[in-house]
Amino acid sequence: MRDLRGVIEREDAQIGLLICMEAPTKPMLKEAAEAGFYKPPGLEDRYPRIQSLTIEELLAGKGVDYPRLLEVTCKKAPKARRATEEQMALGGAEIDEPF
């Protein structure tokens, strides 16, 4: 949780999620609580800045608590460059002489 908190602060993220195999410990929950809440502009709701979910909770359908109407929790990945059309063929070249 401490590392996740550092990452969301460094990246200026609003919400971070830690997925755990087992329930978080009391010190982990304390660290998450100390991170505070995110209050989106124009809304009265508050969302925990650091959240944790177990695999069991995810499989049961529980999800991240975030503002569903705003696109504030996900950064878009950069677009991938297209492969050049002049790639070498793999093993498709004809050979004049047998081995």
DSSP 29-61: HHHHHHT-EE--TT----EESEEEEEHHHHHTT
Inter-residue contact 2 to 9 (CB < 8 Å): no
How many DSSP H helices and E strands does the chain contain? 3, 4
Domain spans of the chain, in order of start:
2-59
Helix (H, G, I), strand (E, B) or coil at 17: strand
Inter-residue contact 41 to 70 (CB < 8 Å): no
- Determine the pLDDT at residue 86: 59
pLDDT tens for 27-74 read 999 999 999 999 998 888 999 999 999 999 999 999 999 888 755 545
The whole-model pTM stands at 0.65
Q: Which of the pair, 98 or 2, is modelled with greater confidence?
A: 2
